Amino acid sequence: MAIIEKRTEPLVQSDQPCKTQDGYTLYRRASRWPSGAKGGKFASGILALAMATMLTGLTASHAEASSSSKFLVPQKSINAPAGFTGICAKYNWVCAQSASSNLSANETLRLAKAINRQVNRQVRQIDDQAQYGREELWTLPTARGGDCEDLVLLKKKMLLERGVPSEDLLIATVLDHKLRSHAVLVLRTASGDLVLDSLKNKIVPWKQTGYTFLKLQNPNSLNQWQAVLAGGVIKDRPTASR
């Protein structure tokens, strides 16, 4: 595809997520820590989680119930990430419902694994500030590359084109292991939610990522978002059925 930059060198894994900005992480601008400092990145994650809790009014029992499921359990509706604004008009496939899929579960998983590896290998990761001179812009990757949201969009587009339903491909905002903002694509399957990540080639169940999940596209109305607050720093419990 023309929008993917061809690369011949092996994929170099990085532990640096992109600076996903949403209604939670905007609060970091009011913090005392400079956003570029190591302490500031950690602090912005802490503030993001605190703001998420305050904005949603979620209780500990809600968060624990979500963390105990094989699926990311929505708690309530919430504002979409700032970068998501206008995406449904720009790319209608991001928010359009799909026809039922003829793919088997095994075929879907094979496709997801292949596309996750392909995009991670072929698209150079570059942040929005370096590429566009602005802090946040959700768009498909260019010949120069893209950040985590851009890779998520490309993976979703490629999987849609191969017959995976849009409502089974959900964009999520998370905090990584160091409580820095990041975005991933969630593949919803009959056995649980799996994660396609720009930082890893392997697809794993959401609980195995170790990420703290903040927001998720609403599968029933893809232009809307839901608060999740699960995993990572949220207390975990043994897996329950759906």
Kindly report the CATH number assigned to the domain that includes residue 130.
Answer: 3.10.620
What is the tens place of the pLDDT at every residue in 45-84? 555 555 555 455 655 555 555 666 899 999 999 999 999 9
pLDDT score for 99: 80
Structure tokens at 18: 């992109």
- CB neighbours (10 Å) of residue 58? 19
Confidence bin at 18 (pLDDT 50/70/90): confident
Confidence bin at 101 (pLDDT 50/70/90): confident
1 is a domain residue: no
pLDDT score for 32: 38
61 is a domain residue: yes
**Percentage above 70 pLDDT, the chain:** 69
Question: Is pLDDT at 196 greater than 80 in this prediction?
Answer: yes
Q: What is the mean pLDDT of the segment spanning 112-134? A: 96
Question: Is pLDDT at 8 greater than 50 in this prediction?
Answer: no
237 is a domain residue: no
6 is a domain residue: no
51 is a domain residue: yes
Highest mean pLDDT among 21-35, 40-54, 123-137: 123-137
Based on the structure, what is the number of domains in the chain? 1
Question: Is pLDDT at 27 greater than 60 in this prediction?
Answer: no
Question: Is pLDDT at 185 greater than 60 in this prediction?
Answer: yes
141 is a domain residue: yes
Find the domain containing 201 and state its range. Answer: 25-230
Token pair 């990572």 is at which residue? 232
Do the Cβ atoms of 47 and 37 come closer than 8 Å? no
What is the tens place of the pLDDT at every residue in 134-159? 989 999 999 999 999 999 999 999 99
Question: Is pLDDT at 2 greater than 60 in this prediction?
Answer: no
Give 14's contacts (C-beta < 8 A, 6+ positions apart).
125, 199
Task: Give the C-alpha separation, 194 to 118, whole Å.
Answer: 17
94 is a domain residue: yes
Confidence bin at 234 (pLDDT 50/70/90): confident
pLDDT score for 206: 97
63 is a domain residue: yes
What is the tens place of the pLDDT at every residue in 199-211? 999 999 999 999 9
